[in-house]
A and B are shown apart, each in its own frame.
Chain A
Amino acid sequence: MDGDQVGASIRIQGLSKVFTEGNRSVNALADFSLEVRNGEFICLLGPSGCGKTTVLRIVAGLESKSAGSVVVKGREVVSAGSNRGMVFQEFALFPWRTVRRNIEFGLDMSQVPLQKRQEISSKLIDLVGLRGFEDAHPRQLSGGMRQRVGIARALANDPAVLLMDEPFGSLDAQTRNLMQRELLRIWEATKKTILFVTHSVDEAVFLADRIVIMTARPGKVREIIDVGLPRPRDRTSREFISVRGKVLLELDEEFEKARAKEMAQRAPARAASAQ
């Protein structure tokens, strides 16, 4: 359909990112490669500071890359664009716009005519379950509802992929579980490709088709785990717990490595201060 025979939605090859601050430079990503199929739900998991969010921001076009290539739907990513929707942990809603007007933001940018715009936003309001709250402002909504707006807003431009940066990280446990189920429903309805960053193993196993476990900094792919459990998934089932255990084991190893590295880095400083 889009000239991509293998059906790859996102193809990341040899992606590197070096952050320089003054004369110090940090290797955030080194040789990160990943291929995401059309309509696939991928979770990026790794110890904190491993560059999960950096991968997402580079795919979104919000951050430049130091080396490598990122191709979305057959086109190299050079800047931010409306074929990749992004959902933020802190929601990032426009406080002066109502729910409907927040969702319509992307359509405003491309000057979609009023009638078409309202048609799309009404559909999305129904999809994310915000009927009745169209004219509310973000500050009047709960965290879960705000993120519903965030998801609908990202979907308004009908992007090929949805990039989600710990979208439920600031929600309480109950709301989080509800939003995970809601997201799966929306995903099944829209058939979008989703790249989802999280640090919750439970969340990754519940949501993903495949879980990409990243190494400690500089981040690259350590292992890709096929979850392979039918949906809806039961968190208490033996299979779920077994996959969860496997992922945790991998992650713990990386966490230990990251910790050892940090200790080694701090050691000279500690020795100096002890004198």
Chain B
Amino acid sequence: MNAWFNGLDKAFIKALRRNWFNLLLSGISFGAFLTIWWLVSAWFHGDWPFGFRDWVDTAEYIPYPWVVIQAFLDSFSHRDPFSELYMGDHIYASMKRITLGFALAFVAAVPLGLLMGRSRKSEAIANPEVELFRPIPPLAWVPIFTIALGFIWGPIVMVFMGIFFPLLFSVRLGAKSVDPLLIDAARTLGANKIQIFTKVVLPSTVPYLMTGVKVGLGIGWMCIVAAEMLGAVGGGVGWYIWGTAQVGRYDLMYAGMATIGLLSILTTGVAGLLEQRLFKWMGTK
């Protein structure tokens, strides 16, 4: 065993020692969740001593945990029953949509949020539209986006709509929350307006921006089912959920839902890691 591995090993054990109790709590919580699921499922199957035998018809609605886990594992090696695609294809298609929708939202929301946060005039100009469109649930856009933009761009724009507003509001709040004293300091040090923006406002906004990114990514995944409801070229996890439900394969449907949960944890985790790196690099945490 070399030194590097030894060091890593020690760091892992140290982290484990520090967090063992919280890890234990998380473990117990997840175990309890699986147990309750199993009990409810058993009840629906009529296997539970107090269950109703007449509910056996509906047993398929709540499959046993291990059935869903098996369906999830199988979905990577077996084609799905309605579009003949593997889970990997669906994940790839949805990831592509989230990435593109997120990139579009980022490019649009960050400059607009900075502008609205720093200039009263631009806020007055943009506010009516922002306030009008903000409360509209992304789901409301599904039919028209699918018809008008088609199966490729429709879902992407749906995801965009979901991510755009939380990101915009975080960035605007960040731009508004810049410490005025730092701007004063920069001015007395000879900074012009552009330098104040790039050297003071922008770095001050980063923590808010990262919060917006994390919230936005979560909402993006929430939108994916709606986005792929009517159809999606090349599959998609949202579409997979709709499709499997329609052919009555609820075990696969739950596997699709679990996939969204896992993917959301993954993307938020990556964003969190990026945030930590950024804060460390900036020296603010």
Q: List 20 A-B contacts (CB under 8 A).
A: A61-B188, A62-B188, A81-B188, A82-B188, A82-B189, A88-B184, A92-B179, A92-B182, A92-B185, A94-B182, A95-B284, A96-B284, A109-B191, A109-B192, A109-B195, A109-B199, A153-B185, A153-B189, A154-B188, A157-B189
Given A105-B199, A139-B284 in contact, is the A110-B190 Cβ separation under 8 Å?
A: yes
Find the A residue at minimum CB distance from B195. Answer: A109
Q: Which residues of B contact A80 (CB under 8 A)?
A: 184, 187-188, 190
Tell me the smallest distance from the CB of B151 to a CB of chain A, in Å: 44
Q: Which residues of A contact B182 (CB under 8 A)?
A: 92, 94
Instruction: Decide if B203 is an interface residue (CB 8 Å cutoff).
Output: yes
Q: Which residues of A contact B189 (CB under 8 A)?
A: 82, 85, 105-106, 109, 153-154, 156-157
Q: Which residues of B contact A210 (CB under 8 A)?
A: none
Find the A residue at minimum CB distance from B203. Answer: A96
Q: Which residues of A contact B179 (CB under 8 A)?
A: 92
Tell me the smallest distance from the CB of B283 to a CB of chain A, in Å: 4
CB atoms of B188 and A60 under 8 A apart: yes
Instruction: Decide if B222 is an interface residue (CB 8 Å cutoff).
Output: no
Instruction: Decide if A134 is an interface residue (CB 8 Å cutoff).
Output: no
Q: Which residues of B contact A193 (CB under 8 A)?
A: none
Q: How many B residues have CB within 8 A of the partner chain?
A: 20
Instruction: Decide if B282 is an interface residue (CB 8 Å cutoff).
Output: yes
Instruction: Decide if A108 is an interface residue (CB 8 Å cutoff).
Output: yes
Instruction: Decide if A17 is an interface residue (CB 8 Å cutoff).
Output: no
Instruction: Decide if B181 is an interface residue (CB 8 Å cutoff).
Output: yes
Tell me the smallest distance from the CB of B277 to a CB of chain A, in Å: 13
Q: Which residues of B contact A194 (CB under 8 A)?
A: none
Given A88-B181, A109-B195 in contact, is the A94-B188 Cβ separation under 8 Å?
A: no
CB atoms of B190 and A109 under 8 A apart: yes
**Docked complex: A106-143 residues within 8 A CB-CB of B:** 106, 108-110, 137, 139
